[in-house]
Homo-oligomer: A and B are copies of this chain.
Amino acid sequence: MPSRLIVSRELADLFRLLAHADRLRLIEELRSGEKDVTGLAQALDLPSTRISQHLALLRTHRLVEERRDGRNHFYRIVNPSLALWILDALPFVDIRLRLEEADHIDTARALWGVPDPNASH
C-alpha cells in the first residue's frame, strides 16, 4: 500500500515548488489577474531572466499557464484558490513572528487584499 508514500512525495514536490519567497510573491502578484513577464519583473524589482526561470518551474508543474500576445507572454494562476490556501498557512509560521508583531497576520492579509475570516472581534 504505497499510496501514502506516493501522496507524500507529490505533496513534498508541491511544497518544494512553493519554498521560495520570489515564487510566492509571483503567485501573489498574479492573484489580481494575468500579467506579463516585464510587468512581474518590475513589480518584484527582479531581473526578468529570474522571473522567467521561476515561471518556467511553476509552468512545468501546472501551477500557472501562459498566453502569448505578440511579444508579450501573459501568465495566470491555473487554480486561483491556490493563493488563498497559501495565506491559510500564516497561522503556522514561526511563533517569533506572532509574538513580535501580534497583528502581523492580519496586516499580511490586509496587505495582500484578503478579507479577514476572523473579522468578528
Interface centre among A11, A61, A62 (most CB of B within 10 A): A11
Check if A94 sits within 8 Å of B4, measured CB to CB: no
Q: How many copies does the complex hold?
A: 2
Interface locus among A13-21, A33-41, A49-57: A13-21
In the complex, A91 has a CB within 8 A of chain B: yes
Knowing A82-B92, A92-B14, A92-B63, say if A21 contacts B9 (CB, 8 Å): yes
Check if A7 sits within 8 Å of B95, measured CB to CB: no
Closest to A60 in B: B94
In the complex, A108 has a CB within 8 A of chain B: yes
Knowing A4-B111, A88-B85, A90-B7, say if A18 contacts B15 (CB, 8 Å): yes
Closest to A24 in B: B8
**Which residues of B are found within 8 Å of A112, using beta-carbon distances?**
4, 7
Check if B94 sits within 8 Å of A61, measured CB to CB: yes
Check if A86 sits within 8 Å of B11, measured CB to CB: yes
Binding site for B on A (CB under 8 A): 1, 3-5, 7-16, 18-25, 28, 61-63, 79, 81-82, 85-86, 88-95, 97, 104, 107-108, 111-112
